[in-house]
């Protein structure tokens, strides 16, 4: 299995993400002793946060695909490859 396939296999599925969102949302509602407006505000923040995380995951996937294509096509020189390798090890 390539490192790309391995990275995808270790990522959360959409269903797992949605389940975690549901649990976090339920937890926020359960522990909130404030008014309805604050609950709604917390839910809105949670939804925005989750959407942002999903957007970041899509961007990572896109960049990873682009990088794989560049490696496969030989468009990356040795210096670029060294920089990329060091970044991936962080």
Per-residue pLDDT reduced to its tens digit, 62-80: 888 888 888 788 878 888 8
Closest CA to 66 of 53, 54, 51, 80: 80
Per-residue pLDDT reduced to its tens digit, 9-68: 456 678 888 887 887 777 766 655 555 666 667 788 888 888 898 998 989 888 888 888
Q: How many domains are contained in the chain?
A: 1
Rounded Cα gap, residues 25 and 22, in angstroms: 5
Domain that holds residue 9: 3-88
Residue pointed to by tokens 């917390």: 42
Rounded Cα gap, residues 30 and 68, in angstroms: 44
More confident residue, 5 or 17: 17
pTM above 0.85, yes or no: no
């Amino acid at each position: 299995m390539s490192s790309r396939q391995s990275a995808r296999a270790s990522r959360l599925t959409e269903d797992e993400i949605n389940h975690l969102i549901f649990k976090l949302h339920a937890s926020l509602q359960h522990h909130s002793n404030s008014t309805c407006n604050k609950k709604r505000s917390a839910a809105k923040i949670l939804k925005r946060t989750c959407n942002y995380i999903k957007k970041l995951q899509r961007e990572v996937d896109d960049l990873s695909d682009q990088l794989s294509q560049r490696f496969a096509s030989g468009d990356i020189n040795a210096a670029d490859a060294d920089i990329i390798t060091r970044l991936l090890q962080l």
